[in-house]
């Protein structure tokens, strides 16, 4: 089990090698080296998965090595390898591998080629570390590391103002959630004195933690998860994060890092299961997020933003799944979603490669020019909508039936979500690939120049697309016979395992979700495909919804104008500056002024005349002798 | 009327006070030096008087001390007068009120 750690080391080493910029190091090597390292990691992950399957998903990791011991604080760095982390390992390394291969072509000619691969390997390493962490502090460290990599990669084209802004925004917004995570760590440490993940589970189940503290702990963790997984109301950073290179969006902001929040909640499922309030919050936030994000997806014109909103809403689905105790369904959805969403993003990158734009209004008719991209994206889209027998169908269906079992209102919300998903997916497909080609723009990477005619992408970019398309098509079948059930549940303590919902396959749920999906596609076809209904008229009927959506529910405005400019800059910062200026500065300057004034007075004594000094000395001596005689006359 | 220790001490105290007054009050540097000389002699007188009137196992201690004081005072006077000469050359004055270079 040391091997995943070894792969982690290899990749870290590669990161540093990739950073060296001496002349003998051709940029291509860093790409090859990263791909090789991640391939090894992928092979090792498969091995780890095999081990986890043999152990029925139970924990086969080991507690390593003493890391920090200060008084009561005792942090052991270690590795957790169980069904859950094994699945995550495979998802991370496989998607990462395909994305790196794709990037070889996509990033060709970019000045920051070395840097790109260094960041990407650092990210993959951090993500593996996060997944394998056996200690909540260790988890937090890697959690922040992936956040850092996300920041670096969003701002990869740092000479673009929008990219810099987006990177800062992502960093700050997720930091709000991470604050909750940090508070949660402090709470659990002060309550139990333990930081190992397994110890925390035991303490939570044994009732060693007060119920209020437990709820606060779970909510704090969820705040961190909501920040990282872009859940309402912290989802605002993810759409802007699309400023990064498209493969980055595919790997980090679709398949892996944003799933870290879901992973965190799943990892602490025993804790959430003990607190009714916490798990209800998870379900409610997931439901809200799924709906609002898919509505936003219908309005977005940038193909990557459509997918960003789609990612947010799918993450909402996973949270809903966790919220109804459906941990198997949620992780299963994470698994399938990683493949088809990465594929959608890579497809978007491929489209950008051909047309030079992400604006869907300037595309159109691409199915004719780029058949491979079209068909792979088509498969991924149908998987996203949840049409059988593609991957998304099986996982989404499982969340739906778990929801029906546990909380029917979540089921209703999720079904509406399926319909909305289908609408925006259909709109995206018809705008991008249907109709006539409308021009395009300059490319965001490589050599500039407008392509007169869009063309299919190079083979190196198409291979990952095809592989992912196959995965998107068949990944759903692995759980058809509850194959993932034991794997995902095996590590849970018995008490928590009993709480897990298993909705099972029900024909009417499958049919209704498929029907909702087809209905959504139908609506999209009416408006954007056949243009039977003018989209302007739909917009007119739905007043004032479109305005609200175009302004993203005014959340950005609320955050920037009200919280940042109003409360922070106007209120807190103003008060603090007054405090600073008058109290702190006043104290500092006051000390100086008093010293200067008293010195001004005192220096007059130093007249420089020896006779004066001698006189004062005489007075002093006489005074001292008189004093001694008065006190002790003998 | 016999002369006792008290008489010597009174004379010594008066001499010392006069010398102290001179040293503190006079503007002329040479007068200040004379005041200091007076104080030396007042102290010497007191030493000798005590040595004469107080019984002690070492009766000559006071006298020896006085001899040393006279020697050192001679050296001091020579140094101080040399200082006075140099001071007059540099500053054209020996008024001690004007010698206040250590001021502020």
What's the confidence (pLDDT) of residue A626?
93
DSSP helix/strand/coil, A261:
helix
> Does some domain include residue B64?
yes
- CB within 8 Å: B23 and A611: yes
- CB within 8 Å: A608 and B24: no
Q: How far apart are CA A625 and CA A513, in angstroms?
A: 106
Mean pLDDT over each residue of chain B, to the nearest integer: 88
Q: What's the sign of the alpha-carbon dihedral A542, A548, A549, A553?
A: negative
CA distance B2 to chain A (A): 29
Q: How far apart are CA A492 and CA A489, in angstroms?
A: 6
What's the confidence (pLDDT) of residue B15?
94
> Does some domain include residue B83?
yes
Which residue of A lies nearest to B26 if distances are taken between CA atoms? A611
Which residue of B lies nearest to A605 if distances are taken between CA atoms? B104
* pLDDT higher than 50, residue A590: yes
Is the CB of residue A319 less than 8 Å from the CB of residue A391?
no
Q: Does A614 touch chain B (CB under 8 A)?
A: yes
Pairing state between β A62-70 and A73-79: antiparallel
Q: Which DSSP state fits A86?
A: H
C-alpha closest to that of A284 among A403, A398, A170? A403
Give chain B's length.
Answer: 104
- pLDDT higher at A630 or A205: A630
Q: How far apart are CA A220 and CA A222, in angstroms?
A: 5
**Residue A133 bridge partners (DSSP):** A79
What's the confidence (pLDDT) of residue B78?
93
pLDDT in tens, A428-485: 888 777 766 665 554 444 444 444 566 677 777 788 888 888 887 777 777 666 667 7
Question: Phi/psi class of residue A445: alpha, beta or left (left: φ > 0; alpha: ψ in -120 to 50)?
Answer: beta
Q: How many CA atoms lie within 13 A of A32 on its CB side?
A: 5
Least confident of A121-125, A388-392, B18-22, B41-45: A388-392
Q: How far apart are CA A419 and CA A605, in angstroms?
A: 91
Q: Does A607 touch chain B (CB under 8 A)?
A: yes
> Does some domain include residue B45?
yes
Least confident of A19-28, A168-177, A604-613: A19-28
Phi/psi of residue B95, each to 5°? -80, 115
CA distance B1 to chain A (A): 31
pLDDT in tens, A306-340: 888 888 888 888 888 888 888 888 888 888 888 88
Which residue of A lies nearest to B95 if distances are taken between CA atoms? A609
- Tell me whether the omega of the peptide bond preceding residue A629 falls within 30 degrees of 0, making it cis: no
C-alpha closest to that of A346 among A238, A262, A460? A460
Residue with tokens 């043999």: A54
Is the CB of residue A259 less than 8 Å from the CB of residue A228?
no
Q: Does B80 touch chain A (CB under 8 A)?
A: no
Pick the residue of A596, A610, A613 with the most B CBs within 10 A to test the interface with B by mutation. A610
- CB within 8 Å: A608 and B101: yes
CATH number where B78 lies: 1.10.287.3510
Number of neighbours of residue B70 by Cβ within 10 angstroms: 12
> What is the arithmetic mean of pLDDT over A119-143?
83
Give ∠ CA A505-A315-A472 in degrees, rounded to 5: 60
> Does some domain include residue B103?
no
Which of A405-414, A523-532, A537-546 has the highest average model confidence (pLDDT)? A405-414
ipTM of the complex: 0.79
- CB within 8 Å: A611 and B104: no
Which residue of A lies nearest to B25 if distances are taken between CA atoms? A611
pLDDT band for position A555 (cuts 50, 70, 90) = low
What's the confidence (pLDDT) of residue A448?
42
Q: How far apart are CA A294 and CA A355, in angstroms?
A: 26
pLDDT in tens, A174-229: 888 888 888 888 888 888 777 778 778 888 787 777 778 888 888 888 888 888 88
- CB within 8 Å: A615 and B23: no
> Does some domain include residue B57?
yes
Q: How far apart are CA A593 and CA A475, in angstroms?
A: 75
Q: Does B25 touch chain A (CB under 8 A)?
A: yes
pLDDT in tens, A263-291: 888 888 888 888 888 888 888 888 888 88
- The closest CB to that of A608, out of B23, B24, B103, belongs to B103
How many domains are contained in chain B? Answer: 1
Which residue of A lies nearest to B24 if distances are taken between CA atoms? A611
Least confident of A9-18, A274-283, A582-591: A9-18
Residue with tokens 């011991």: A69
Mean pLDDT over each residue of chain A, to the nearest integer: 77
Per the structure, the complete domain to which residue B85 belongs is given by: 5-98
> Does some domain include residue B104?
no
pTM of structure: 0.72
* pLDDT higher than 90, residue A573: no
Q: How many CA atoms lie within 13 A of A87 on its CB side?
A: 35
């Amino acid at each position: 089990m040391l091997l995943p750690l070894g792969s982690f080391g290899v990749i870290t080493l590669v990161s540093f090698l990739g950073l060296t910029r001496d002349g003998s190091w051709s940029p291509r090597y860093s790409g090859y080296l990263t791909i090789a390292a991640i391939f090894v990691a992928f092979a090792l992950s498969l091995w780890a998965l095999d081990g986890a399957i043999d152990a029925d998903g139970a924990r086969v990791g080991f507690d390593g090595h003493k890391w920090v011991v200060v008084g009561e604080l005792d942090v052991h760095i270690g590795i957790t390898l169980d069904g859950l982390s094994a699945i995550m390992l495979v998802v991370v390394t496989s998607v990462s591998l395909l994305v790196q291969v794709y990037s070889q072509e996509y990033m060709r000619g970019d000045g920051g080629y070395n840097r790109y691969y260094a960041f990407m390997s650092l990210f993959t390493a951090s993500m593996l570390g996060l997944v394998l962490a056996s200690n909540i502090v260790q988890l937090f460290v890697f959690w922040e590391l992936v956040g850092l990599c996300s920041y670096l990669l969003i701002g990869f084209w740092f000479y673009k103002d929008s990219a810099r802004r987006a990177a800062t925004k992502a960093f700050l917004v997720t930091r709000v959630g991470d604050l909750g995570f940090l508070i949660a760590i402090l709470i659990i440490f002060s309550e139990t004195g333990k930081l190992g993940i397994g110890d925390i589970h035991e303490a939570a189940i044994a009732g060693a933690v007060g119920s209020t503290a437990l709820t606060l702990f779970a909510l704090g963790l969820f705040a961190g998860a909501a920040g990282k997984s872009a859940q309402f109301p912290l989802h605002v950073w993810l759409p802007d994060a699309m400023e990064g290179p498209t493969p980055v969006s595919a790997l980090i902001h679709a398949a892996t890092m944003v799933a870290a929040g879901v992973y965190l909640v799943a990892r602490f499922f025993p804790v959430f299961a003990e607190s009714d309030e916490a798990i209800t919050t998870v379900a409610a936030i997931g439901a809200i997020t799924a709906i609002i994000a898919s509505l936003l997806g219908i309005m977005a014109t940038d193909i990557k933003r459509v997918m960003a909103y789609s990612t947010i809403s799918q993450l909402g689905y996973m949270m809903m799944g966790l919220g109804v105790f459906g941990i198997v369904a949620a992780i299963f959805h994470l698994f399938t979603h990683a493949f088809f969403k990465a594929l959608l993003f890579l497809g978007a990158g491929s489209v950008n490669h051909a047309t030079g734009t992400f604006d869907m209004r300037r595309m159109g008719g691409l199915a004719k020019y780029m058949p491979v991209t079209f068909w792979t994206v088509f498969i991924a889209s149908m998987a996203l909508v949840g049409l059988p027998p593609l991957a998304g169908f099986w996982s989404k269906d499982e969340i739906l039936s778990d929801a029906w079992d546990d909380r029917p209102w979540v089921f209703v919300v999720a079904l509406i979500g399926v319909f909305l998903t289908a609408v925006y997916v259909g709109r995206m497909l018809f705008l991008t690939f249907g109709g006539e080609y409308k021009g395009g723009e300059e490319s965001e990477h490589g050599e500039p120049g407008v392509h007169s005619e869009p063309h299919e992408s190079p083979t190196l970019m198409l291979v990952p697309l095809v592989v992912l398309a196959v995965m998107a098509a068949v990944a759903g079948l692995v759980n058809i016979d509850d194959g993932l059930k034991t794997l995902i549940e095996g590590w849970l303590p018995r008490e928590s395992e009993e709480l897990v919902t298993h909705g099972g396959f029900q024909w009417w749920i499958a049919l209704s979700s498929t029907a909702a999906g087809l209905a959504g596609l139908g609506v999209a076809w009416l408006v954007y495909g056949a243009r039977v209904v003018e989209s302007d008229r739909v917009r007119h009927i739905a007043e004032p919804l479109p305005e609200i959506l175009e302004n993203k529910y005014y959340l950005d405005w609320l955050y920037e104008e009200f919280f940042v400019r109003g409360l922070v800059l106007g209120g807190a910062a103003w008060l603090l500056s007054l405090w600073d200026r008058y109290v702190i500065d006043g104290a500092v300057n006051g000390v100086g002024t008093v010293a200067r004034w008293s010195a001004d007075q005192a220096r007059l004594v130093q007249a420089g005349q020896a006779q004066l000094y001698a006189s004062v000395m005489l007075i002093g001596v006489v005074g001292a002798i008189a004093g001694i005689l008065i006190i002790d006359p003998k | 009327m016999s002369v006792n220790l008290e008489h010597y001490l009174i004379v010594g105290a008066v001499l010392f006070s006069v010398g102290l007054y001179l040293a503190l009050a006079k503007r002329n540097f040479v007068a200040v030096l004379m005041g200091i000389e007076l104080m030396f002699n007042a102290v010497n007188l007191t030493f000798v008087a005590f040595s004469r009137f107080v019984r002690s196992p070492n009766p000559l201690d006071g006298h020896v001390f006085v001899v040393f004081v006279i020697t050192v005072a001679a050296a001091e006077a020579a140094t101080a007068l040399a200082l006075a000469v140099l001071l007059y050359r540099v500053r054209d004055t020996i008024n001690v009120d004007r010698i206040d270079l250590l001021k502020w």
